[in-house]
Amino acid sequence: MKNAIVVVDDDPIIRMDIREMLEEGGYWVAGEAKNGEEAVELVARLKPDLAIMDIKMPVMNGIKASQIIRKLQQDTSILLLTAYSQKELVKDAREAGVAAFLVKPVSEEDLLPAVEIALSQKEKMDSLKQDIKQLKQSIEERKVIEKAKGIVMQAYSLNEEEAYKKMREASMTTRIPLSKLAACMLTEGLESLSSVAQDG
């Protein structure tokens, strides 16, 4: 699937040039905006992978727009376009969570590698978020299993190892994942283990 990119600049000729360079590079330009306010709306609606945005624009500048976009749509990476005279804004832009910078006028030789860098940072962030999500889920499942194990220990006067073994056996017999079985036990009581209890 092609990466979706939005281009934001108050100069229509610059927007057109960037669009052409991106399309020649195999990217998909999902939309365009002429100021920061439009950019925020566009990103919220389209949820692109990347926003390429000028800093100096009317209504709302690129840094302010970047700050809002980072809060609203954290999955969108931002590449800012800047003029030499705007180097003092680099610190502000970094704080706004911008992935990369390009100095105008923009050439294809500069644009495409910068786009690649910004998109690879986005992929790393996405992967990290996925890892964190899985880790949280694993911790939650562990907590449920521990609670259920406590119930089994109490009900059958078993030690920790024996209770865990009994739960694993029930999980294998019923072909229900251990975390699901534990969750069932917490909501429905020990019925989930009754068949194994009879055997043991």
pTM of full prediction above 0.75: no
Query: What CA–CA distance (Å, rounded) separates 200 from 188?
Result: 21
Beta bridge partners of residue 81, listed in sequence order: 54, 102
Domains within the chain, CATH numbers bracketed: 4-106 (3.40.50.2300), 132-199 (1.10.10)
Burial group, residue 51, by CB count within 10 angstroms (0-12, 13-18, 19+): buried
Cβ neighbours for 123, distance < 8 A, ≥ 6 positions apart? none
- The pLDDT score that the predictor gives to residue 198 is 47
| Tens place of pLDDT per residue across the chain (200 aa) | 478 999 999 999 999 999 999 999 999 999 999 999 999 999 999 899 999 999 888 888 888 888 888 887 667 889 988 876 566 676 776 666 677 788 888 888 888 888 888 888 767 777 677 878 888 988 898 999 999 999 889 888 999 998 989 888 888 888 888 899 898 888 877 765 654 444 44
Query: What CA–CA distance (Å, rounded) separates 111 from 58?
Result: 23
